[in-house]
């Protein structure tokens, strides 16, 4: 059974590990290419976009894909829309792994906004030390608030984008440690944290550390993300694929590709 995984998350990597060891499935992992040095994967991997809905449809047809798993980041809403549309046209089974969002807890001081641009605006006119825990592509929004001192943690260099004049980069990737995150925020004198609500355990320690230190968090809300059959883990995705495999039609009655 031929599978395409739209990846870029921990869950996608976990599913790749499960499928690589399972001879029932012939899986390919697709990455958007936003990370210059992605972690090595145990499956054949393609990098880059598909060229819109039509391009994704063509790729799925040309590679005789039997089912698609959307395990993209909670903020990657465009590719999810394309996946829903392409699978609908081709009558392909689609499942989506959806990581639960972080929930506000007692002691959290969250300012929830709808975009990086709004996050920059709510930082205020008085200069502050701001920790940006975002993808590098969102950093340009903070050029509109040049009065702040920013510390941005990214996996890759920012590349050729507009940046605020007072910004320092910390190159690192999760998972992160609770005690180290608290020490980092304290030592850097961080007054505000800006974060996406990515969910999961790997990057949550900064949120817990901000709560303990009484630091407000400007939280960028998730977009409305279309989905197929909703799943909550890589293991659930494997079980779903096994169900699809068990109910596949005989070869003579399968769709034309």
**Domain CATH code at residue 75:** 3.40.50.720
> What pLDDT, on a 0 to 100 scale, did the predictor assign at position 38?
66
Residues 146 and 87 in one domain: no
161: pLDDT confidence band, cut at 50, 70 and 90?
confident
94: pLDDT confidence band, cut at 50, 70 and 90?
very high
Helices (H), 50-175: 52-62, 77-90, 116-122
Task: Assess if residue 105 is contained within a domain.
Answer: no
pLDDT at 47 over 70: yes
* Cα–Cα distance measured from residue 11 to residue 73, given in angstroms and rounded to the nearest whole number: 9
At 186, list the tokens. Answer: 């304290």
Residues 227 and 215 in one domain: no
Task: Assess if residue 78 is contained within a domain.
Answer: yes
pTM for the full model? 0.85
For 247, the domain range is 2-100+223-253
How buried is 2 (Cβ within 10 angstroms: 0-12 exposed, 13-18 middle, 19+ buried)?
middle
Residues 93 and 9 in one domain: yes
Residue 139: C-alpha distances to residues 80, 85, 133, 142 (Å): 23, 30, 9, 6
Work out the angle at residue 107's Cα, subtended by the Cα atoms of residues 106 and 110, and round it to the nearest 5 degrees: 100
Q: Is the dihedral of CA 61, 64, 68, 74 positive or negative?
A: negative
Residues 130 and 216 in one domain: yes
Per the listing, tokens 């990657």 go with 76
**Residue pair 5/29 in contact by the 8 Å Cβ criterion:** yes
Residues 19 and 80 in one domain: yes
Residues 116 and 190 in one domain: yes
257: pLDDT confidence band, cut at 50, 70 and 90?
very low
* Cα–Cα distance measured from residue 98 to residue 230, given in angstroms and rounded to the nearest whole number: 7
106: pLDDT confidence band, cut at 50, 70 and 90?
very high
Residues 86 and 20 in one domain: yes
> What pLDDT, on a 0 to 100 scale, did the predictor assign at position 35?
64
At 52, list the tokens. Answer: 């819109």
34: pLDDT confidence band, cut at 50, 70 and 90?
low
At 88, list the tokens. Answer: 């609908």
Residues 114 and 200 in one domain: yes
Mean pLDDT within 150-173: 88
Please tell me what DSSP assigns to residue 101: P
At 254, list the tokens. Answer: 């399968």
pLDDT at 255 over 50: no
21: pLDDT confidence band, cut at 50, 70 and 90?
confident
Per the listing, tokens 């304290």 go with 186
Residues 32 and 72 in one domain: yes
What is the per-residue pLDDT across 172-203, written as a single tens digit (0 to 9) for each? 887 899 999 999 999 999 999 999 999 989 89
**Domain count along the chain:** 2
**Residue pair 131/205 in contact by the 8 Å Cβ criterion:** no
Mean pLDDT within 47-51: 92
Please tell me what DSSP assigns to residue 36: S
At 215, list the tokens. Answer: 């630091």
């Amino acid at each position: 059974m031929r599978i395409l995984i739209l990846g870029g998350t921990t869950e996608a990597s976990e599913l790749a590990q499960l499928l690589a060891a399972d001879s029932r499935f012939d899986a390919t992992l697709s990455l958007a290419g936003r990370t210059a040095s992605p972690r090595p994967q145990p499956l054949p991997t393609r990098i880059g976009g598909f060229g819109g809905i039509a391009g994704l449809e063509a790729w799925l047809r040309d590679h005789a894909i039997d089912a698609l798993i959307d395990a993209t980041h909670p903020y990657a809403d465009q590719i999810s829309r394309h996946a829903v549309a392409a699978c609908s046209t081709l009558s392909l089974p689609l499942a989506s792994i959806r990581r639960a969002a972080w929930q506000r807890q007692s002691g959290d001081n969250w300012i929830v906004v709808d975009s990086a641009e709004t996050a920059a605006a709510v930082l205020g006119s008085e200069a502050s030390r701001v920790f940006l825990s975002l993808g590098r592509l969102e950093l340009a929004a903070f050029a509109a608030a040049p009065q702040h001192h920013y510390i941005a943690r990214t996996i890759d260099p920012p590349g050729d984008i507009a940046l605020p004049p007072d910004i320092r980069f910390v190159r690192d990737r999760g998972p992160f440690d609770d005690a180290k995150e608290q020490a980092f925020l304290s030592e850097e004198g961080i007054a505000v944290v800006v974060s996406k609500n990515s969910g999961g355990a790997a990057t949550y320690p900064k949120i817990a550390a901000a709560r303990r230190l009484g630091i407000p968090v400007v939280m960028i809300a998730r977009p409305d993300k279309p989905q197929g059959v909703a799943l909550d883990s890589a293991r659930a995705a494997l079980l779903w694929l096994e169900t699809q495999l068990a109910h596949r039609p005989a070869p003579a009655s399968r769709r034309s590709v």
